Amino acid sequence: MKSAAFYYLQSRILCGPGQVLFTLLIFILNKELHATPFQLMVFACLKPITSLFSFYVSSLTFDRPHQSVRTYLIANTIIGCAPCLFFPLFDNVWFYIVSYAIYTITMRAKEPIWIEYLKCNLELPQMSKTVSRGASIIYFMSMFLPPVLSFWLDGHIWKSLFFLFALLQLVNAAAIFSLVDGKQTIRFKESKSGISILDPLKKGYQLLKDNRPFCHYLFLFFLGGAGIVAIQPILPIYFNEQLNLSYAQLTLAFSFCKGISFLPSSPIWAKYVTCISLYRLNALMNLLTTFFMAALLAASFGMEWLYVGYLCYGAMQGGSEQSWNMSGPIFSNNKCSTAYSSLNLLLVGIRGCICPFLGYLLFSLLGIIPMLIIVLGICLISVFYGFWLDSKYAQRNNWAEPNLTSI
């Protein structure tokens, strides 16, 4: 019988080309369909905002009785890729924007369920290695597929590429169907009452009240990534007006340097995620984020600092993948982890709605350099906060759930 790790990695391989294509879609819409600045802004804001919808999809669906992993994953896979089957028939920018939103919602909504599936079938060390390998597969494709695909993106051939991706996802759905019953199917407890749109929020709030260590972890994760999210609307301006980057310099830093540090760092994070506190792990991640921010400022004096910065960024993302995916299984202990992982989605969505606006506001009032200095200070605060939480819970050794001292 094939292992849970096999099914998870197989899904990552089949989904990878689509994820790469959708990262290029904003550039395709601009060049091929002449999307307006407003449409491009909407597209850019969708990724964090859709996390809020993914939170509801994963939460509400699994409040229903007798829902299986196989049914849920197949439904989300087919719904996510269905609009791509019609790409060759349309030239409407809004159709592609809505298609991207549907794909992103379903893709992220699957993550908490995959994580719970792995938790039920693998030991934590093996699970962390599997998550690391899955993330590395996506990063590897992100590094090497765009140069290959760029030869076929002109004209209308890109629509055929998305159509082929949709067919590949139907193959993925068929592969997921081979998940067997028994141990490899998770049954969730039956809900005794009707489902309200506020139920996931109420249950999430109650979970945070009952499990203070997880609440503190979520705030640490929120704070550590706030700076990265805040500078996203400003980076294109900084790279163009302050650093005068060529496309070659930008892709070398953004794709290659980030990827080349992510791939070797990911298994290192995977090795230590079950050995050290998640608070300490996030503090180390935030330290790398601080180095990245400092390198952005130093890039004004030499381009080599930009490459150093993105090396730190890639290594940080290797840890972020582990922290984000493993926090639910670790903090939930013997309970179902989907509620914990879904709250991760909610906080990412909230952060994505607030921080870019605050970053742009700081930029408008103060300028690029002061804004980056303030963000650097926030990153430093998150480092000290992470180490403080690590020390606090190490001394108290008192968790909201039993047997969580390894966190």
Q: How confident is the model at residue 401 (pLDDT cuts 50, 70, 90)?
A: very low
pLDDT band at 102 (very low <50, low <70, confident <90, very high): very high
Report CA torsion sign: 198, 200, 206, 208.
negative
What letter would DSSP give residue 242? Answer: I
**What is the model's pLDDT at position 185?**
45
d(CA 117, CA 237): 42
- Residue pair 80/107 in contact (Cβ under 8 Å)? The answer is yes
pTM of the model: 0.74
Q: Where does CATH 1.20.1250.20 sit in the chain? A: 1-187, 198-396
- The residue whose two tokens read 């990262």 is 23
pLDDT higher than 50, residue 404: no
What tens digit of pLDDT does each residue of 196-237 get? Answer: 566 677 777 888 888 889 999 999 999 999 988 888 777 777
Query: Measured between alpha carbons, how far is 245 from 86 in angstroms, rounded to an integer?
Result: 37
- How far apart, in whole angstroms, are the C-alpha atoms of residue 269 and residue 318? 7
In whole angstroms, what is the distance from residue 16 CA to residue 339 CA? 26
pLDDT of 347 above 50: yes
For residues 133-162, give the mean pLDDT: 78
Per-residue pLDDT averaged across 278-299, rounded? Answer: 94
Tokens 């791939």, residue located: 263
What beta strand segments (E) does 24-176 contain? none
> Alpha helix locations (H) across 367-406?
368-396
Tell me yes or no: is domain 198-396 CATH 1.20.1250.20: yes
Read off the pLDDT band of 379 (50, 70, 90).
Answer: very high
Instruction: Specify the DSSP class assigned to residue 193.
Output: S
Residues 79-100: pLDDT tens digits? 999 999 999 898 899 999 999 9
Superfamily grouping for domain 1-187: MFS general substrate transporter like domains (1.20.1250.20)
How far apart are alpha carbons 97 and 77 in whole angstroms? 18
Read off the amino acid at residue 293: M
Residue 245 and residue 136 in contact, taking contact as beta carbons nearer than 8 Å? no
Phi-psi region of 247 (alpha: psi -120 to 50; beta: other; left: phi over 0): alpha
